Amino acid sequence: MQIIDRYIIRGFVGPLIWCILIFIIMAIIIDIFSFIDDIVKYKIPLASIIAFYVYYAPTIFLQVTPMAVLLSTVFLLSNLNKHNELIAMKSSGISLWRIMAPLLVVGFIVSMAVFAVNNTIIPVSARVANYIRREEIESQKRMESPSKLLRNVALYGAGNRIIFARTYDDNSKTLNDIIIHEHDSKENLLSKITAQSGTWTKGGWKFQKVIFYNIDNAGRILAEPQFFEEKVIPIEERPSDFANMERSADYMSYQDLKRYIVNFQGAGAKLVRGLLVELHYKIAYPLISFIIILIGAPFAMITNRGGVLIGIGLSIALGLLYYAFIAIALAFGKAGILPPAIAAWSGNVVFAAWGIYLINKRA
């Protein structure tokens, strides 16, 4: 590694770490102040609050890293530009792409770290954080609030079950239009259970108009289906598990979500389409931290009067536009207007191409 590479990396990594830490602390403070009244009113224990934010921190890390990378890129290149170091490097025959090479390498490493956190840590930490907030922080508030009707609720159940309900009424603790798939340890479908409705009772979930189908390895129905007008099925999941699984994809790794989609194709086109968008986005999202360097770099090198402030402002504005473009594309994908892969990747492709074009203009 050349001296210039070490110099650029050192000037980039330091601000990046500080930006991430500051953003995480700011996000926690803002979130605490958003429900400070509830903390006082319901006397929420300090230990529960601390535990929640410890487990919630990886999620905040994912959210703030791209913007931290953008600001660090702008800070470094603006500094180099301000002290004429970029001009000196170019005069020595070093191309702009060569100057940016260490930045891009670090950006790619950050993207891989974001993917690793999202794929291994988040599935565990998000579940625990959600449980703490639901059961220890918001339980009293939820008891006083009106319930909501959730649609297309799906989750992994204990015992290799995948449970889908068309609707869940949190007030009556009732599931409607239910499909339950039971698998073996190798993900082979063993049985399928359908029910018109299911209600939570002291004895567990009591289902109405239940049909049991036994399935062989080829996917064929064995023997005659069994029908029950009413039956208690031993499902470990409680009402709170269904009430808080609107974003079940957030609790899955890429591999788990991929298997989930394959095993649950019959749950409804809208649900599967949304999960496919989430699947592609699990790969596309980490690369934002790499691509956003291409976006910020050209504007950080503006040399005219007042250029530093203008460059910083334009870089941030373009970064926010990048986020808005991605959000719109994802919404179009889940609505069926765009194919899932295009919805998840179009923002990265468009803004990477735009960034490369702008850098080449300045090279």
Q: What residue numbers bound the domain in which 353 lies?
A: 3-138+280-362
Please give the Cα distance from 16 to 109 (Å, whole number). 13
115 shares a domain with 45: yes
Query: Is 211 part of a structural domain of the chain?
Result: yes
Q: 153 and 126, same structural domain?
A: no
Judgement on whether residues 357 and 318 belong to the same structural domain of the protein: yes
Asked whether residue 323 falls in the same domain as residue 235, the answer is no
Which segment of 203-217, 221-235, 249-263, 312-326 scores lowest on mean pLDDT? 249-263
Express each pLDDT in 228-252 by its tens digit: 999 988 887 888 777 665 456 777 8
| Alpha-carbon distances of 30 from 22, 24, 27, 77, rounded to whole Å | 12, 10, 5, 30
Q: Which of 267, 290, 322 is the last residue of a domain?
A: 267
- Please give the model's pTM, rounded to 2 decimal places: 0.76
Residue 204 lies in a domain: yes
Are both 134 and 10 inside the same structural domain? yes
| 259 and 285 co-located in one domain | no
Domain total of the chain: 2
| Structure confidence by residue, pLDDT tens digits, 17-74 | 999 999 999 999 999 998 888 888 878 888 889 999 999 999 999 999 999 999 999 8
